[in-house]
Amino acid sequence: MFNTAYLDLPPLQSAAGTVQLPGSKSISNRVLLLAALSRGRTVIHDLLDSDDTRVMLTALEQLGCGVERGVAGVPTDVAITGLGGGVPKSPAKLFLGNAGTAMRPLTAALSVLGGDFALSGVPRMHERPIGDLVDALRQLGCQIDYTGNDGFPPLKIGTPGLKLDAPIAVRGDVSSQFLTALLLALPLVAKQDIHIDVIGELISKPYIEITLNLLTKFGINVKRDGWQRFTISQGASYQSPGEIWVEADASSASYFIALGAISTTTNSSIRIEGLSENAIQGDIRFVDAARLMGAQITSGANHLEISKGAWPLKAIDLDCNHIPDAAMTLAVMALYAEGTTTLRNIASWRVKETDRIAAMTTELRKLGATVVEAQDFISVTPPALNAWKAASIHTYDDHRIAMCFSLAAFNPASKAVRIEDPKCVAKTFPDYFETLFSVVKPSSVPVICVDGPTASGKGTLASRVAQQLGFSYLDSGALYRLTALAAKQQGISWDDEAGLAKLAAHLPVVFEGQTVLLNEDDVSELIRSEEMGMGASKVSVFPAVREALTALQHSFARLPGLVADGRDMGTVIFPTAPLKIFLTANAATRAERRYKQLISKGISAKLDSLRADLEARDLRDSSRASAPLKPAEDAVLLDNSGQTIEESVAFVSNQWQSKLGV
Ligand code: DC
């Protein structure tokens, strides 16, 4: 997850590859309970790993179900051996955290099965109402007591005297989870037809559809009369399907479906694993809308494959009431369509994480689009090629704004897009940007070079800037220091160009954050010694050594970008880098900094000899024939002699921001 204030997306060019998206939460916990109530063993693939599923699994284990985690070595595959008509282990005390999707259906299932159960959760769970469900269950003779406040968990459940002949009334206008809980529990006791009547207008119907659909997969066909009456037929009984796949989250999939439509090239595609066109989540209908805009989408049993069809995309005029969340993605796809796209019947956008109609309007306009907003629709006309603007996208603590605007980085004018507060994606998809970066190709990975003489503060400046931007960091000097150290360890002379080059080409080095491992030994401190600094300066004069380390340095350039420090980053290794800083400080300042650094580590040092040493090293580094230390022609000079580190970081950040134009 990117925990930075903003994330800069460079112009992106194409996308191809396979993504696995997180599983749907509502499906995961329903499937766990269904498997637990069934006869036989069910292998559940792609289960969401979250707090809510973890408490459910623990509870099922306590109740006597077989639980195997990580089936066949796959961490997201879990096998459940169900109770299959048997009785759950009792007495049992179940702690259900803050998982409503565990508390409600378990209350219903355990109270019809009977036993001695105590169900509790975190304090917040004890403030979440369950009275309507308990009332419904008491009507059929279930024994449920509130052990805290009336109407709320914690609960104590006993043995029921079931009366199932009269229809069971349940409120549908507070939470659809109460109806779901009854639908999941009552097949356990269907000795006769059981009717459930919904009181009030049923909300969140797509979630009831998910419940009904999953029930079918476990052998239960519920008859439905509109959204008012549901009937479970006499003799219904749960049967394990053997194995079942939890669908990937369909709203999350919309970004990758759009990606395929916008950015795949001939013969390439985006493949989304874990979801098919027959998915049972409402937002899967985004597939139809994306097709209308020109996406080429095929569906397998458990994957979708998307490639470019029409290009530019086709503008649409669509009622989006059935896909309110995924429709935001259409608004960004509209930037790549010919003409004006209108998304209608989206008044609910106004009352989501933020006023999404207002937010989308403001942010799309920043990119140069012409946008008309009204109470319940939005119209988007893309900018002309020369009117596209780089923009810093405000995200309003709304995960979907952050995710859908990342797609604007494919703009044909190659403008950068800054996403503010990128960590807001954690609400549904913490690794969204990492997943995006695994399939997109930029025109080039942005590199910020910081070159300069010894002890000018390059390392501190470069690593701070990298941290601020969420970029990788390359300390190229460390590679020369490592070569010097490895040579010393293996008895290779610092004058032996061929021997050193052979060594440098296969340095067994691993960078783990601040730690540098050579042959699996932590050498982070060892390479910082004055001896290795001098050794590095010596071995780095050889062209063959420099050549041998080039590919390793290039491999550090990954999305979203790289900050590289050294002597020749801007001149030789990354000559096309968009920002090059040449950092200097006068020799007296640098000698003093190094002196303080050594003293603070308890290493004795003399200021005069340090200064003489670093001047000697400067001379060697800048007068050598191969890649000498000198500013690149397009470098920005920064003398930090009188600056604090914060001032230098701010200077580089400002330079970077003006390069991007955001
Ligand atoms: O930046 P540093 O002090 O860790 O670098 C050690 C030596 O490595 C330096 O004296 C010259 C050499 N070096 C180089 O030649 N090219 C680089 N890109 C980085 C360092």
Nearest-angstrom CA–CA distance, 78 and 614: 60
| 524: its two tokens | 């982070």
Instruction: State residue 490's pLDDT score.
Output: 95
| 134: its two tokens | 């308990």
Q: Are 272 and 301 in contact (CB under 8 A)?
A: no
* Distance (Å) of CA 55 to CA 118, 123, 172, 629: 14, 15, 26, 59
Ligand 1 atom with minimal separation from the 541 CA: 15
Q: Are 420 and 404 in contact (CB under 8 A)?
A: no
Average pLDDT rounded to a whole number, residues 505-527: 92
| 617 CB near ligand 1 (under 6 Å) | yes
Residue 325 bears catalytic tag: yes
Quote the ligand 1 centre to 537 CA distance (angstroms). 6
Instruction: State residue 309's pLDDT score.
Output: 93
Nearest-angstrom CA–CA distance, 84 and 65: 10
Sign of the four-CA dihedral 381, 385, 386, 390: positive
Please report, as a single letter, which amino acid is at residue 582: F
Pocket test for ligand 1, best of 450, 463, 540 (most atoms within 8 A of CB): 540
Q: Are 622 and 630 in contact (CB under 8 A)?
A: yes
Q: Are 296 and 309 in contact (CB under 8 A)?
A: yes
367-414 confidence digits (pLDDT tens): 999 999 999 999 999 999 999 999 999 999 999 999 999 999 999 999
> How would you class 574 by CB atoms within 10 Å of its CB: exposed for 0-12, middle for 13-18, buried for 19 or more?
buried
Give strand pairing partners of 551.
Answer: none
Q: Are 227 and 256 in contact (CB under 8 A)?
A: no
Q: Are 660 and 416 in contact (CB under 8 A)?
A: yes
Confidence of residue 652 (pLDDT cuts 50, 70, 90): very high
pTM (2 d.p.): 0.85
Instruction: State residue 124's pLDDT score.
Output: 87
Give strand pairing partners of 305.
Answer: 271, 298
Given phi > 0 = left and psi -120 to 50 = alpha, else beta, which region is 415?
beta
In the chain, what are the domains? 6-22+249-442 (3.65.10.10), 26-245 (3.65.10.10), 447-660 (3.40.50.300)
Nearest-angstrom CA–CA distance, 397 and 420: 9
Helix axes 100-113, 51-62, angle to 10 degrees: 20
Quickly count: other Cβ atoms within 10 Å of residue 299's Cβ.
Answer: 17
Q: Identify the active-site residue in 46, 283, 325, 621.
A: 325
205-232 confidence digits (pLDDT tens): 888 999 999 999 999 999 999 999 999 9
Pick from 405, 416, 473, 408: nearest CA to 9 = 416
Pick from 171, 159, 60: nearest CA to 106 = 60
| Residues recorded for the chain | 662
Quote the ligand 1 centre to 149 CA distance (angstroms). 68
Nearest-angstrom CA–CA distance, 250 and 275: 7
Task: Provide the terminal-to-terminal Cα distance of the chain, rounded to the nearest Å.
Answer: 22
Quote the ligand 1 centre to 607 CA distance (angstroms). 21
Average pLDDT rounded to a whole number, residues 520-539: 93
Nearest-angstrom CA–CA distance, 308 and 592: 59
Ligand 1 atom with minimal separation from the 454 CA: 3
Ligand 1 atom with minimal separation from the 620 CA: 10
Average pLDDT rounded to a whole number, residues 640-646: 94
Average pLDDT rounded to a whole number, residues 470-488: 97
29-87 confidence digits (pLDDT tens): 999 999 999 999 999 999 988 888 999 999 999 999 999 999 999 999 999 999 998 89
Instruction: State residue 60's pLDDT score.
Output: 98
Sign of the four-CA dihedral 10, 11, 13, 14: positive
Q: Which residue has its alpha carbon closest to ligand 1 atom 1?
A: 477
| 566 CB near ligand 1 (under 6 Å) | yes
What helix, strand, coil percent values describe the chain, rounded to 5?
A: 40, 20, 35
